[in-house]
Chain A
Amino acid sequence: MVHQYKLDGYDIVLDTASGSVHLVDDVAYDIIEMYKSRSADEICGEICAKYPEVTRGDVLECLDDIAGLEAAGKLFTPDDYEELAGGRKAASRVIKALCLHVAHTCNLNCAYCFASQGKYHGERALMSFEVGKRALDFLVENSGTRRNLEVDFFGGEPLMNWQVVKDLVAYARSIEKDAGKNFRFTLTTNGVLLDDEVTDFCNREMHNVVLSLDGRKEVNDRFRVDAAGHGSYERIVPNFQRFVAKRGGKSYYMRGTYTHFNTDFTRDIFHMADLGFTELSMEPVVCAPGDPCALTEEDFPVLCEQYELLARDMLRRWREGKPITFYHYMIDLKHGPCIYKRITGCGSGTEYMAVTPWGELFPCHQFVGDPKYSLGNIWDGVTNTAAQDEFRACNAYSRPDCKDCWARLYCSGGCAANSYHATGSIGGVYDYGCRLFKKRIECAIMLQAAMETESEG
């Protein structure tokens, strides 16, 4: 499938099945648009009429180039991967990543929290070391030949169960060599308890750390408040700054959520940059349509403008030698994911699962607490195979709306939880999220194209 768009002076043509990206001029852009539906004579006629300076010979030369790209598998490449997607996922029983809910409790009381202030609509609880240890053993036992195993310490607020986090890391390190595995730990924290001891440990052991901040003080403190209703900004920003200063070159993300109340979210991203943070992520809120936080149809064009503004500003910062990273604009065109990664979906419910403080398994953190999607437990494994099969069936081709979508090999079918919350089915499509995703990919590729073009001089 070919997708064409114009953005910030760049005419971009994506050949989605091959992953090719072409930068073209206006003439080639129009010719490619007509290539499959018109004859060479018709195309020559139309182009020469629209562009008086262009000759018939010019058009024929361009048509030859297009034919060459098609023959080389870089344009109009057929997407023949559907069978591969279903077959591969049906055959695999490997689990390689767990989201460990070490604390179903939180020291903040964020109004928009999908986990209902860390409790996931249930009781407050902390994971015991024994449960966590069994979860790590369960992961090793089910990981097949995979070497890299990912464990995210999540909550609630995982630092409220800090000793168990440290003990679990020590246990994993004690078994990984003999098991032939490499544990990669991540931790997602609100920063309230991020002191020097936690910082030093995380910087030694955590492959990645996600720091939750929504941006400007007034934006962050609108929702990210403690039990008494006091904003968290003043407490957490210095902790995050100390943490990142000692992080060295290791991976981290400062991650925020934007809502209807801050559709000018780039100001929050730039605020993070002003505070000295460079690895940034900002996610659109997902909530019930009637919720005051919910993004509206009127917000949509504003958000698209914001994403364009962000790309432009990132280009400016890059030119000035002070680049920032935005998670959704990271696209490695040369060494990015292979086709298998792109077609098999996010892995929730199959190779990735969430574990509650009691050792219950769910397809991912977003489904925790929903009895319909309780998959089993870390002692008996997956017993609700019917629910797991629903997730196993999810891939880049499984949703009817994805059939003619150019972005499916960038999102792999999208987030099952978003689909579920928006449509009541994991097989549905969260249309608003899809449209935002497509806008982000367009901006991301434009940014890559601009940087590459300018690098070449």
Chain B
Amino acid sequence: MKRIKTLETRDLCASVKNGGCGECQTSCQSACKTSCGVANQPCEKK
């Protein structure tokens, strides 16, 4: 594509099937303790 470059990202739709183990860190435990953000939590599945 000439005008569009798509970065490699995790396919969230596909993660409906391959996600949901629940082993990842609770977002508030990590550093913030005041403002929730979930996007920066790494996935535990390798």
Contacts and interface: CB of A to CB of B under 8 A. Distances in A.
Contact of A414 (B19, B33, B36): B36
A411 B37 contact: yes
Interface residues of B, number: 42
Contacts of B8: 333-334
A332 interface: yes
B25 to A, nearest CB: 6
B35 A418 contact: yes
Interface stretch (A92-100, A158-166, A239-247, A296-304): A92-100
Given A88-B20, A186-B29, A335 B6 contact: no
Contact of A74 (B6, B34, B40, B43): B6
Given A18-B13, A327-B40, A346 B28 contact: yes
Interface string A64-98: 01100100011001000100100010000010110
A210 B38 contact: no
Interface string B1-42: 111111111111101101110111111111111111111111
Interface stretch (A21-29, A116-124, A229-237, A375-383): A21-29
Given A337-B39, A342-B38, A97 B4 contact: no
A150 interface: yes
A412 B38 contact: yes
A336 B40 CA distance: 7
A147 interface: yes
Interface string A1-43: 0000000000001000111111111011000000000000000
A23 B15 contact: no
Contact of B31 (A25, A28, A327): A327
A145 to B, nearest CB: 8
A74 B11 CA distance: 8
Q: Counting chain A CB atoms within 10 Å of each CB, which of B6, B9, B24 scores highest?
A: B9
B36 to A, nearest CB: 4
A318 interface: no
Nearest to B8: A334
A453 B41 CA distance: 23
A441 B37 CA distance: 9
How large, as a class, is the contact surface on chain A? 35 or more
A219 interface: no
B43 to A, nearest CB: 5
Nearest to B16: A339
A232 B8 CA distance: 45
A356 to B, nearest CB: 16
B24 to A, nearest CB: 6
Contact of A65 (B3, B7, B18): B3
Contact of B29 (A152, A366, A415): A152
Nearest to A207: B25
A132 interface: no
A88 B8 CA distance: 28
Contacts of A336: 10, 39-43
B1 to A, nearest CB: 5
Interface in A386-403: none
A437 interface: yes
Contact of B7 (A94, A412, A452): A452
Given A208-B29, A433-B35, 18 more contacts: A17-B13, A18-B13, A19-B10, A19-B12, A84-B16, A253-B31, A334-B8, A336-B39, A337-B38, A339-B13, A340-B15, A340-B22, A341-B38, A341-B41, A342-B12, A351-B26, A410-B38, A414-B35
- List the 5 closest pairs (A to B, CB-CB), nearest first: A338-B19, A338-B15, A28-B3, A253-B31, A330-B40
